[in-house]
Amino acid sequence: MVQYTRSRVDASFAALSDATRRGVLEQLGRADASITGLAEKFHMTLTGMKKHVGVLEQAGLVTTEKVGRVRTCKLGPRRLEEEAAWIEAYRQLWDARFDELDKVVEELKRKGRIHGRKKRR
């Protein structure tokens, strides 16, 4: 199994579990934005957006900078390599399990033909 820093990965998955936060990341992937602009885009209060951005910032997925009265958000330095490795390890595990299941199904089909049983529909 892949070794990973649990707290960072947990924080990332917690941040990514919310559709609004995923949308914020998509938006910031196109261009930096103010918290006010993000709040308007997602039809929510400024306070609500600040909380979402705070969760993303805690996970290292977003950074903010205050210039005057405007707090600008941009994508953070994290590239989600650990999270992708964790997902890949489980994808491989599930692929192996499904491959084994396919073998069992094919064996059952083969035995059904040998014993002259009719296939169920």
Reference 58, options 15, 13, 4; nearest CA is: 15
Residues 6+ apart with CB under 8 A from 33: 27, 41, 72, 73
Q: What angle do CA 5, 8, 14 make, to 5 degrees?
A: 130
| Residue-by-residue pLDDT tens, the chain, 121 positions | 455 556 888 999 999 999 999 999 999 999 999 999 999 999 999 999 999 999 999 999 999 999 999 999 999 988 889 899 989 999 999 999 999 999 989 988 888 776 665 555 5
Which CATH architecture does the domain made up of 1-116 adopt? Orthogonal Bundle (1.10)
Chain center to CA of 18: 9
Domain boundaries of the chain, sorted by first residue? 1-116
pTM of the model: 0.74
Structure tokens at 30: 């196109």
